[in-house]
Amino acid sequence: MNPSPHTAPRGEAVITGIGLVTPVGIGREQSWQGFLEGKSGIAPPRDWDCSGEDVQLAGEVDVNFEEQFLAKVKIPFARRFGRFTKFALMAGQEAVEQAGINIEQTDPTRIGVVLGIGGGATHYLGPMGDAIKAGDAKLFDRTIDHYFVIKTMYNAPAGMISIQHGFQGPSTMVSAACASGSVAVTTGLDWIRSGRADVVIVGGAESTVNREALQAYWRVRALTNKNELGAAACRPFDRDRSGFVMAEGAGILVLESAQHAAARGAKVLARVMGASMVSEAFKIATPQLDGSGMARAMTDALADAGLPRTAITHISAHAPSTPQGDLAEARAINLAFGDHTKNLSVTAPKSAFGHALAASSAIQTALLALSLQRGVQIPTQNLDQQDPEIELDIVSGAARPSTDAYAMINAFGFGGHNVSLVLGKA
């Protein structure tokens, strides 16, 4: 498949700031080093005894996060916000500080915020359910304090980043299941291309590690129950993969028009060359197994970037470690890239931290930008026996040095939301 003729290159944005909060590390450098070294963020959940349950693993941010958040994030009444909002605020502050964005030098009405959200604040529902089951009205009242709305409102991350930094441009949240982070990046790119904003804070945040969410995703057979494998349970592209591990975290990036970044002398980390969003219009929780819907997202992203498929040499795969999802994506890559597939290297970051739903593709976009900047591809973990039906060159075992000029990120969400992004080296 070649790039679709109905689209044409429409310009690019540049990445000038990156912030990360992941199960592998708190902060950009700690996260990057953890992924590079093959560290795992997957372990039994901390907040409840899951020993008798079907799912006994999750990818949680370090137990010291709250302490670090309160010490580092510059905002009044920091304790009152929901966990996913705190992830976004901390990662956002790191990204904004690296980019050197401030409203004294940049028109605040030209700075926007768009973030992705999927499950949101489901962990606040557990105490409410417990109180209802116990028939304890007083306990129920205590679970809904005067901060409950602020903690659970889906738009809080975008709103609070705008408030924290005084950004007065467009501000919103988008939701497209596991593709939400990439939809946010695509939206930010569109705002810059259209002239709606000069700078856009983009990314995703999620905090759905709780008993209710794990049970719900287990019921649709999305999660693995290979609890005995521990940190090795998330196995993208492996013959014995059986589902993903629920995770949490945030990835935030600062996008700017190339002209705006150059005018203020900003250091460019990577370029966002093109993007696509397509719908499979197939099934709510199952991809087309021939990979055709996913392949269309990839070819459309190439067309949007104005690049031939031979320009791409590396792919950060969606690869959630589900039997059908990984196979469909492998087929899609072969369909989109044809004979050039043999020249591609592919990595699956979720093997290290699980699947943080809306945050995953934002985290992967940040990692890929760092990969292009630093000339190294992060490894896929737990690939002991590659599925013989998956004919791809998987980066596994150890990090791999690279000279990639262009690379792609895939994100495919329930509902048939397929998104691909093309990044370029700065």
Residue 412 token pair = 């495919």
CA distance 171 to 190: 14
Domain match, 217 and 304 both: no
Domain match, 54 and 125 both: yes
pLDDT for residue 2 is more than 50: no
Give the pLDDT confidence score for residue 4 in this predicted structure. Answer: 43
Annotated catalytic residue 260: no
Task: Residue 172: give its domain's CATH number.
Answer: 3.40.47.10
- Considering only 74-83, 323-332, 339-348, which range has the smallest mean pLDDT? 74-83
Average pLDDT of the segment spanning 116-125: 78
Average pLDDT of the segment spanning 385-395: 98
**Candidate list 165, 178, 234, 314, residue with the active-site label:** 178
Average pLDDT of the segment spanning 88-96: 98
pLDDT for residue 7 is more than 50: no
What are 127-149's pLDDT values in tens digits? Answer: 666 777 777 777 777 777 777 78
- Considering only 80-84, 88-92, 155-159, 351-355, which range has the smallest mean pLDDT? 80-84
Q: Considering the chain, what is the average pLDDT of its residues?
A: 93
Give the pLDDT confidence score for residue 139 in this predicted structure. Answer: 72
Annotated catalytic residue 123: no
pLDDT for residue 230 is more than 60: yes
| Strand 400-401 versus strand 270-279 pairing type | unpaired
CA distance 298 to 314: 13
CA dihedral 183, 417, 382, 289 (to 10 degrees): -150
102 assigned to some structural domain: yes
- Residues ≥6 apart with Cβ < 8 Å to 40: 24, 231, 232, 352, 353, 381
CA dihedral 103, 108, 114, 115 (to 10 degrees): 30
128 C-beta neighbours (distance < 10 Å), count: 14
- What DSSP string runs through 81-100? S-HHHHHHHHHHHHHHHHHT
Annotated catalytic residue 178: yes
Its domain, for residue 310, covers 273-425
What pTM did the predictor assign? 0.95
- Reported as half-sphere exposure (CB side, CA atoms, 13 A), residue 243 has a value of 21
CA distance 252 to 358: 12
Burial class of residue 373 in the structure, from the number of CB atoms within 10 Å of its CB (0-12 exposed, 13-18 middle, 19+ buried)? middle
Confidence at 331, pLDDT banded by 50, 70, 90? very high
Gyration radius of the chain's alpha carbons: 20
Task: Give strand ranges (E) for 208-257.
Answer: 248-257
- In the block, residue with structure tokens 């700075």: 111
CA distance 315 to 32: 17
Domain match, 287 and 357 both: yes
CA distance 44 to 208: 14
pLDDT for residue 32 is more than 90: yes
Phi, psi values for residue 237, rounded to 5°: 70, 0
Last residue of a domain, one of 209, 231, 263: 263
4 assigned to some structural domain: no
3 assigned to some structural domain: no
pLDDT for residue 376 is more than 80: yes
Give percent above pLDDT 90 in the chain: 85
Dihedral (CA of 335, 189, 247, 375) sign: positive
Dihedral (CA of 228, 232, 233, 237) sign: negative
CA distance 421 to 400: 22
Domain match, 139 and 192 both: yes
- In the block, residue with structure tokens 């501000």: 171
Domain match, 37 and 131 both: yes
Instruction: Categorise residue 200: left if φ over 0, alpha if ψ from -120 to 50, beta otherwise.
Output: beta
Domain match, 257 and 277 both: no
Give percent above pLDDT 70 in the chain: 95
Domain match, 232 and 287 both: no
What angle is formed at CA 119 by the lines to CA 116 and CA 125, rounded to 5 degrees? 140
pLDDT for residue 370 is more than 50: yes
Give the pLDDT confidence score for residue 357 in this predicted structure. Answer: 96
Domain match, 154 and 199 both: yes
What are 263-312's pLDDT values in tens digits? Answer: 999 999 999 999 999 999 999 989 999 999 999 999 999 999 999 999 99
Confidence at 152, pLDDT banded by 50, 70, 90? confident
Contact 315, 410 (CB under 8 A): yes
Confidence at 123, pLDDT banded by 50, 70, 90? low
- In the block, residue with structure tokens 């630093």: 374
What are 37-53's pLDDT values in tens digits? Answer: 999 999 999 999 999 99
Domain match, 247 and 294 both: no
Contact 209, 59 (CB under 8 A): yes
Domain match, 220 and 324 both: no
What are 159-197's pLDDT values in tens digits? Answer: 999 999 999 999 999 999 999 999 999 999 999 999 999
- In the block, residue with structure tokens 């569109």: 190
DSSP secondary structure code for residue 152 in this structure: H
pLDDT for residue 126 is more than 70: no
Confidence at 124, pLDDT banded by 50, 70, 90? low
Last residue of a domain, one of 232, 263, 294: 263
Confidence at 240, pLDDT banded by 50, 70, 90? very high
324 C-beta neighbours (distance < 10 Å), count: 14
Give the pLDDT confidence score for residue 245 in this predicted structure. Answer: 98
> What total number of domains does the chain contain?
2
Burial class of residue 155 in the structure, from the number of CB atoms within 10 Å of its CB (0-12 exposed, 13-18 middle, 19+ buried)? middle
Last residue of a domain, one of 263, 293, 321: 263
6 assigned to some structural domain: no
